[in-house]
Chains A and B, each alone.
Chain A
Amino acid sequence: MNEVIIVKIGMADLNIASGGESLKTTGLGSCVGLTLHDAQIGLAGMAHIMLPSSDIAREGQLNVAKYADTAVPELIARLKAGGANIRRLVAKLAGGAQMFAFSNGSDSMRIGPRNVESTKLALAAHDIPIIAEDTGGNFGRTIEFSSSSGMLTIRSVQNGVKEI
């Protein structure tokens, strides 16, 4: 059996893979791991989204992969360039946890749920259905996505391995 080639996605990063390759990102906490898949041509994309909206950006050169509202269109554009049909794309989401619980939670402490909400809004704007998600909770996740099967494998410390 051939080793599956794994394309690693860093924090605030995105990329696409095909031909049976897998996409992987490690240590998602409040960040959201978004995957998009075109099953017909076996093309997959993944983004490791850190913040909900680029409105709060104060950086000179915007890293579009970092923000939900800019990462979603960028990932779609990359997949389209790779031959995907936007009408066939389906999404899966993981992450968006609240790693620490605070009683007087200020807004920045709720960053995980806000990342999830914002990613969903951006997907809805492009009419992309979310077919599975494993979001929220208070634990970290490592995810791997197969471009051939469209299976998302989620590993966490407390809950072991889960496939969605």
Chain B
Amino acid sequence: MELFSNNAEFKMDVLREVGNIGAGHAATALSRLLDKPVDMAVPKVSFIPFEEIAERVGGAEEIVVAIFLRVEGEAPGNMFFLMSQFQARALLQGLLSFEQSSDGPSYTEMEMSALSEIGNILAGSYLSSLADLTGLPLSPTVPAIAVDMAGAILTYGLVQFGTMGDEALLIDTTFMEDDRKAEGHFFFIPDPESFERLFRALGVPI
């Protein structure tokens, strides 16, 4: 992208900080929900070939639980909260004391709805902190949930980048829950047009 021909390193750092603040708030929200500490890794920000994005969560065929929502407003984009099946089960049990309905990739309507709501709360805190930081109005759509192959799910968020090339700029933050060694990913994929607005709002020279 042409926008990154100048000051690329600095701009990547700014996006890393965007991820840090957004996911930091989401991690705090998750930690409150679970009433236990949730750690967060330094966000990874880079252009990744489409082919390799699913590798971040175990490969294209890895079955993941994904909550997707579209970010609307001044800097639109796509947001995913991705968990392994193990993590999703742990969340349901830890948070809501749900009896495990099955081991496989099938979830009851109640479980899907609960996971969706967790994704909604986390994405909401991610976006509201980002909106505060940038002063840009940003709001999430109603979340949608799917349990399926990571490759099939993630391509859904790459359509906007698809017309520009074969890679996407992704803000990836990993959550870890220390006692269960499970992790979840937050992927924020702003639309290509949104980067300039984000940079202007944050006073980054274009």
Contact = CB atoms under 8 A, between A and B. Distances in A.
B166 interface: yes
A102 B141 contact: yes
A26 B166 CA distance: 17
B61 interface: yes
B121 interface: no
A111 B159 contact: yes
Interface stretch (B6-14, B37-45, B123-131, B143-151): B143-151
Contact of B164 (A58, A97, A101): A58
A102 B158 CA distance: 17
Contacts of A138: 146
A66 B147 CA distance: 25
Nearest to A155: B61
A29 B70 CA distance: 17
B199 interface: no
Contacts, number: 99
A72 B106 CA distance: 36
A140 B144 contact: no
Contacts of B163: 51, 56-59
Interface residues of A, number: 34
Contacts of B105: 157-158
Given A26-B61, A59-B163, A99 B148 contact: yes
A29 to B, nearest CB: 3
A158 B61 CA distance: 13
Interface string A78-110: 000000000000000000010111111000110
A157 B147 contact: yes
A97 B60 CA distance: 16
A150 B118 CA distance: 45
A10 interface: yes
Interface string B89-112: 000000000000000011000000
Contact of A99 (B51, B106, B142, B153): B153
Contact of B60 (A27, A50, A57, A101): A27
B164 A140 contact: no
B152 A97 contact: yes
Given A50-B155, A50-B159, A111-B159, 4 more contacts: A56-B163, A138-B146, A158-B106, A158-B148
Interface of B: 50-51, 54, 59-61, 63, 68, 70, 105-106, 141-142, 144-156, 158-160, 162-166
